Structure 1
Amino acid sequence: MCGIVGIFDLQGQRDIDALLLLRMNHSLRHRGPDEDGLHREPGLGLGHRRLSVIDLASGQQPLFNADRSVAIVFNGEIYNYRLLMAELRQFGHVFRTNSDTEVIVHAWEQWGEQCVQRLRGMFAFALWDRRRHQLFLARDRLGVKPLYYGQASDGTLLFGSELKALLAHPAMPRTLDPLAVEDYFAYGYVPEPRSIFQHALKLPPGHTLSIRAGQPLPAPRQYWDVPFTPHAHASEAQAGDELLARLREAVRIRMVAEVPLGAFLSGGVDSSAVVAMMAGASASAVNTCSIAFGDPAFDETRHAELVARRYGTQHHTLQAGQDDFQLIDLLANLYDEPFADSSAMPTYRVCQLARQRVTVALSGDGGDESLAGYRRYRLHTREEKVRRVMDPLLPASLRQSLFGTLGRLYPKADWAPRFLRAKTTFEGLARDTTDAYFHSVSILGDAMRARLFSSALRHQLQGYRAVEVLRRHAAASPAPDALSQVQYLDLKTYLPGDILTKVDRASMAHALEVRSPLLDHELVAWMSGLPAHFKLHCGEGKYLFKKALRPMLPDSLLYRQKMGFSVPLASWLRGPLRQRLQDRLLSPTLAQCGLFEMDYVRHLIEQHASSRRDYSAPLWSLLMFEAFLRQVLPAAATPAIVVAPAMALD
């Protein structure tokens, strides 16, 4: 696992400043503490930081082909590289190393841009072909590995594994994107392809970008999407057996490493299944790591310990405490843009714990999105059934008016179970499918964002709403049913924008490589084609997966209520962290940026502190935004923080 950076002259072949390239590369030293490498030639500079995992002796980068006309910097792992190496040798290719990086170079020589279709793994890379005068950027299908790029004011294209690499270049503009601010306060992260800065973008998952000097910067090209192509099975039992067989293979190929290897074990279904598969494939005890919380409502360690004992793992647990609030500023620097998932704190700690014993850790990420593990899927499909029944009886406009009015009039009951919150139900029924799902995943709803944002920011938005992110993906979705549709939306937004971003930054902060078997693209494609009732059945998510796992894991773990990997944020913000919250949100940093109505910020603080409302998620979002302004833009004067005119994506 590594970090990559680069500078490409879009106008010609000007010399690349060696010190600037070195500064960009040095900003990612945490991603690759073992080695670094630089390459410069007219119009191009490439940089690489290496965390050695495979081919420790000869995998240095940038790596070149035989005549040095092709160069690559690569972050990730290609799990089928040995098969590709054997195939490429049949075409006459000669290998100088045993690294997966060199396989990509030869695959490019053999198949050109189509080489990405042959790669099975997680990757982000930049490849330079001098003969074709072509720079080629690529990102893996599901967005496990990140890749940012942007145009600097000096006419160069900058790219890197993290946004901080671009910001290390003085010609990279730091103008905030108003649409990204709107997106952030809706989702808690900035979804692809935007970043918080207007001139920097993320290469979307499953996309490539081919660039030539002297030509306009093209739009990224999609090479893969989650297919959701239905496939039939003779029986439920056969489908379950095939699911486990495919997962077992995905785990096995991710256990290849020349360094110590282990796993995260949260006590949930997905991580427990991965550990069970690892134990079956390993001759020695698996190293496992968990995070404990003092609040039993958030603590899953007893379930993790049950799995650890069953499979004889070398298990280690770390207690997370309220002092982890001290991580806020560190997290702001790690993520480079506002990021409001509070589980970033325990994720950081579990990566820290794991790195004390291993260099590679397997995780259970991806199971909820592919196998319908989130509770919101159950609630959304129920609402969707009601909408379908009502559609022939009530025109959409009448339904929106009727239930919208009921939703406004009905009192809000945060304290009640979701199914008793009639206000939430009425509001959901008043919306169309995509808008209803957007409302269910929003950190701040439309009305709250309107009250929070200053008149200047609302003017800059020009009517833009963050739901357009979901609408854009919904319009391209191949999903055949209501459940698959929202799974697709999460696979395109929440998974890469939140879950994978969180894990990548937290793990790389400790030079730890994380591999996710449930995100194997062949497995994800197969799971997407399962019938909806194999995923969500009679209100039970992961139905087929859990049933297939019953011989391997206890029912008390498989069928308990899902907890999620979260922290007791509401009580923390009312208790020992209350004063610090108030000090940060009412400080000059937030007030002077000109983006918010500070009276409404005070209202959120007071309502939450009094326990009249639970505003922990909005308050945490503001807290992380304030930390971003203070940590990432510390030298920016107020005029530099003012957002630019809104620009819609193509």
Structure 2
Amino acid sequence: MCGIAGLFHCGTPKPVDPARVSRMCDALFHRGPDGSGIWTGQGVGLGHRRLAIIDLEGSPQPMHAHDGNAVIVFNGEIYNFRELRRELEGHGAKFRTDGDTEVILAAWQRWGPDCLEKLHGMFAFAIYDLNRKELFLARDRLGVKPLFMAHLSDGSLAFASELKGLLAHPLLRREIDPLAVEDYMTWGYVPDHRSILKGVEKLPAGHFRLLRHGETPAPPRQWWDVDFSQRKSSKTSDLSAELLFRMREGVTSRMDADVALGAFLSGGVDSSSVVALMAESSRDPVTTCSIGFDVAALDETGYAEKVAARFGTDHHSRIVDPDDFQHIDALAGMFDEPFADASALPTWRVCQLAREHVTVALSGDGADEAFAGYRRQVFHAREEQLRSVLPSALRKPLFGGLGAIWPKADWAPRPLRAKSTFLSLAQDGAEGYARSLSVIPPELRFALYGDDLKRELGGYRAEAPLIRMMRDAPARSGLDRAQYADLKFWLPGDILTKVDRTSMAVSLEAREPLLDHRLIEFGAQLPHRARVRGTQGKWLIKHTMERYLPEDILYRPKQGFVTPISDWFRGPLASEARVICSAGGLADTGWFDERALAKLADDHISGKSDHGRILWQLLMLGKSIKRLGIGL
């Protein structure tokens, strides 16, 4: 795993200052502490920070092709590089190293952009072709590895693995995009179609860019998508057998490393399944890591220890204090953009523990999105059944009216918290799912916004791109569309961003075997009953893994990492909540209504309402803006 950065002059190919590329790479030191390199040519500069995983001594970057006609910087891993290497050798390719980087170069020279279809793995890379005088930027199918880009005032395109790499360039404009503020307040992160700074872009997952000197920069082009419009009609036993084959394929392909390798183990279905399949294919005990909390309701270490004992792993666990708020500033620094998924704190903690024992760790991320494991997906499938029998003319007035008068009872038992469900049912499927996925609904967001921000938004609502994505999805049902949105919007924007930044902050490579694209494509073709049965999501995975895992691991309620942010804002962070919501804080930006913010903080601190999640978003927004050098 590595960090990459570079500069490319889209117009006249001016000289590139190596010192500027070097500063951009230095900002990414944490991504690659094992080595660095810079290469510059006329109108182009490429930089690299290396975390050595495969071919530890023989694959320095930037790397030149065997014939010297192309140069690459690469972040990621290609899991099928040995098979691909043999294929390319059959076409006459010559290799000097034993790693995957040189294979990408040879694949580019053989197939051009079509080489991407051949690559199985996680990656973001830049290739400069000296013959064609063009730059090729590419990102993997699901967006496991990030790539930020910005057009600068000198006519160059700057790119880097993280925003902090671009921030190291003196010509980067630091102006907040108000549309990104609306996006962030809606989702708790800035999705891939936007950046917190105007003029900064993210190369979307499954896309590439091809740029030539002297030509207008071409927009990104999509090279992969997941298709939910087809259905498999096989028997359950056949589907289960194919699923197990695909899961084994994903796990074993990601166990190739020349450094110590292990796995995160939470005791949930997905991480336990990965560990079970690792143990099955390994002669030595698998190294596993988990963290727990000294609050029984938050602690899952007992389940993790049960799985570890079952498969004889070399297990490491640590109890951490759920009151970890003293690390908020460090957390904000990892993400650059505002990021309010509070589970980032415990994710960082388990990455720290893992890095004490291994350099590579496998995770269970991706199965919920691909196989309908989220509760919201199961609810959406049931809501879609109701929408199919109740016409819109009846649903909108009935459920819209109920939603308007129903109290927002966060404190009540779950069955009595019906307000969101009623409001969702009053809308079509895409609008309803966007509401369920959002952290703050539009009526509450706009009550917090000041006149300046409302004017700058010009009627824009953050839900619109997601709704459009769902309506245009290659899908046959509402459940398909919800999963498509989770894979294309939520996964790269939240989950993969969280894991990439927290793991790279400690120089740990995280690999996601359940995001093998062949497994994802298989899951997209499953019939509904193989995904959801009754209230049980991810049905086929649980059914298939019964031969490996006990019932209390497979069928207990999903928990996940929990951070007690509501309690923090009634205790040690109460003063921070008041500061960020008052004059001198976010109120001074003109984005928010000062009285509305003050009331939000007061109502939460007094216990009148639970606004902990919103206060956390506001706090992380304020800290991120300060770190970007835009004072509050």
TM-score, length of structure 2 as denominator length: 0.98
Q: Report the counterpart of residue 201 of structure 1 in structure 2.
A: 201
Q: Report the counterpart of residue 44 of structure 1 in structure 2.
A: 44
Q: Indicate the SS of the match to 1:504.
A: helix
Map residues 321-336 of structure 1 onto 2, 5 A cutoff.
321-336=321-336
User: Does 2:572 align with 1:564?
Assistant: no
Question: How many angstroms does 1:322 deviate by?
Answer: 4.2
Q: Report the counterpart of residue 123 of structure 2 in structure 1.
A: 123
Conservation of the 8 A alpha-carbon contact between 2:579 and 2:585: no
Q: Report the counterpart of residue 213 of structure 2 in structure 1.
A: 213
For 1:365 and 1:487, the matched residues in 2 are separated by: 14
Between 1:75-84 and 1:5-14, the stretch displaced more is 5-14
For 1:89 and 1:146, the matched residues in 2 are separated by: 30
User: Does 2:165 align with 1:165?
Assistant: yes
Letter in 1 for 2:403: G
User: Does 2:223 align with 1:223?
Assistant: yes
Map residues 125-524 of structure 1 onto 2, 5 A cutoff.
125-391=125-391, 394-395=392-393, 399-524=395-520
> Which residue, out of 525, 528, 531, partners 1:532?
528
Q: CA RMSD in A?
A: 1.4
Between 1:59-68 and 1:319-328, the stretch displaced more is 319-328
Conservation of the 8 A alpha-carbon contact between 1:589 and 1:630: no
Change in Cα spacing, 1:323 to 1:407, as seen in structure 2 (3 Å) is: closer
For 1:227 and 1:484, the matched residues in 2 are separated by: 9
For 1:249 and 1:62, the matched residues in 2 are separated by: 31
Conservation of the 8 A alpha-carbon contact between 1:589 and 1:629: no
For 1:399 and 1:553, the matched residues in 2 are separated by: 43
Letter in 1 for 2:321: G
Q: Indicate the SS of the match to 1:463.
A: coil
Conservation of the 8 A alpha-carbon contact between 2:373 and 2:538: yes
Letter in 2 for 1:500: L
Letter in 2 for 1:227: D
Between 1:604-613 and 1:191-200, the stretch displaced more is 604-613
Letter in 2 for 1:288: T
Q: Report the counterpart of residue 647 of structure 1 in structure 2.
A: none
Conservation of the 8 A alpha-carbon contact between 1:298 and 1:568: no
For 1:405 and 1:28, the matched residues in 2 are separated by: 52
Question: How many angstroms does 1:219 deviate by?
Answer: 1.4
Conservation of the 8 A alpha-carbon contact between 1:322 and 1:572: no
For 2:162 and 2:377, the matched residues in 1 are separated by: 32
Conservation of the 8 A alpha-carbon contact between 1:574 and 1:608: yes
Q: Report the counterpart of residue 573 of structure 2 in structure 1.
A: 577
Letter in 2 for 1:14: K
Question: How many angstroms does 1:432 deviate by?
Answer: 1.4
User: Does 2:615 align with 1:611?
Assistant: no
For 1:19 and 1:188, the matched residues in 2 are separated by: 36
User: Does 2:103 align with 1:103?
Assistant: yes
User: Does 2:617 align with 1:621?
Assistant: yes
Q: Report the counterpart of residue 545 of structure 2 in structure 1.
A: 549
Q: Indicate the SS of the match to 1:588.
A: coil
Superimposed CA distance per residue, residues 398-445 of structure 1 (whole angstroms, 9 cap, x where no aligned partner): 632342222111222112344332322221111111111111111111
Change in Cα spacing, 1:637 to 1:498, as seen in structure 2 (3 Å) is: closer
Superimposed CA distance per residue, residues 504-528 of structure 1 (whole angstroms, 9 cap, x where no aligned partner): 0000011100011000011111111
For 1:252 and 1:356, the matched residues in 2 are separated by: 23
Superimposed CA distance per residue, residues 285-340 of structure 1 (whole angstroms, 9 cap, x where no aligned partner): 11111111222222111111110111111111122214421221111111110001
Of all paired residues, the percent bearing the same amino acid is 50
For 2:16 and 2:288, the matched residues in 1 are separated by: 45
For 1:117 and 1:609, the matched residues in 2 are separated by: 53
For 1:548 and 1:123, the matched residues in 2 are separated by: 30
| Poorly superposed stretches of 4+, deviation over 6 Å | none
For 2:326 and 2:468, the matched residues in 1 are separated by: 38
For 2:62 and 2:328, the matched residues in 1 are separated by: 34
Superimposed CA distance per residue, residues 221-246 of structure 1 (whole angstroms, 9 cap, x where no aligned partner): 00000122534354212211221121
For 2:421 and 2:51, the matched residues in 1 are separated by: 49
Conservation of the 8 A alpha-carbon contact between 1:332 and 1:627: yes
Q: Indicate the SS of the match to 1:533.
A: helix
User: Does 2:68 align with 1:68?
Assistant: yes
Map residues 77-92 of structure 1 onto 2, 5 A cutoff.
77-92=77-92
Letter in 1 for 2:200: A
For 1:306 and 1:578, the matched residues in 2 are separated by: 39
Between 1:593-602 and 1:137-146, the stretch displaced more is 593-602
For 2:17 and 2:590, the matched residues in 1 are separated by: 36
Conservation of the 8 A alpha-carbon contact between 1:73 and 1:127: yes
Q: Indicate the SS of the match to 1:537.
A: coil
Conservation of the 8 A alpha-carbon contact between 1:78 and 1:119: yes
Conservation of the 8 A alpha-carbon contact between 2:63 and 2:71: yes
For 1:95 and 1:441, the matched residues in 2 are separated by: 47
For 2:58 and 2:472, the matched residues in 1 are separated by: 43
Q: Indicate the SS of the match to 1:540.
A: coil
Superimposed CA distance per residue, residues 376-416 of structure 1 (whole angstroms, 9 cap, x where no aligned partner): 1121122221111111xx52xx6323422221112221123
Letter in 2 for 1:219: P
Conservation of the 8 A alpha-carbon contact between 2:293 and 2:322: no
For 2:415 and 2:222, the matched residues in 1 are separated by: 39
Conservation of the 8 A alpha-carbon contact between 1:608 and 1:615: yes
Between 1:88-97 and 1:66-75, the stretch displaced more is 66-75
Conservation of the 8 A alpha-carbon contact between 1:24 and 1:166: yes
Letter in 2 for 1:423: K
Conservation of the 8 A alpha-carbon contact between 2:294 and 2:322: no
Question: How many angstroms does 1:165 deviate by?
Answer: 0.6
Between 1:609-618 and 1:480-489, the stretch displaced more is 609-618
Conservation of the 8 A alpha-carbon contact between 2:366 and 2:512: yes
For 2:52 and 2:248, the matched residues in 1 are separated by: 25
Q: Report the counterpart of residue 641 of structure 1 in structure 2.
A: none
Q: Indicate the SS of the match to 2:47.
A: strand
Q: Indicate the SS of the match to 1:250.
A: helix
Letter in 2 for 1:628: S
For 2:540 and 2:220, the matched residues in 1 are separated by: 36
Conservation of the 8 A alpha-carbon contact between 1:477 and 1:485: yes
Mark the runs of 5 or more structure 2 residues left unpaired by the alignment.
Answer: none
For 2:17 and 2:455, the matched residues in 1 are separated by: 40
Conservation of the 8 A alpha-carbon contact between 1:230 and 1:531: no
Q: Report the counterpart of residue 642 of structure 1 in structure 2.
A: none
Q: How many residue pairs end up in the alignment?
A: 632
User: Does 2:23 align with 1:23?
Assistant: yes
Question: How many angstroms does 1:584 deviate by?
Answer: 4.1
TM-score, length of structure 1 as denominator length: 0.95
For 2:603 and 2:382, the matched residues in 1 are separated by: 31
Question: How many angstroms does 1:174 deviate by?
Answer: 1.2
Superimposed CA distance per residue, residues 126-170 of structure 1 (whole angstroms, 9 cap, x where no aligned partner): 010111111010000000000011101221100010011111111
Conservation of the 8 A alpha-carbon contact between 2:430 and 2:471: no
Question: How many angstroms does 1:637 deviate by?
Answer: 5.5
For 2:326 and 2:210, the matched residues in 1 are separated by: 42
Conservation of the 8 A alpha-carbon contact between 1:140 and 1:207: yes
Q: Indicate the SS of the match to 1:297.
A: helix
Q: Indicate the SS of the match to 2:291.
A: strand
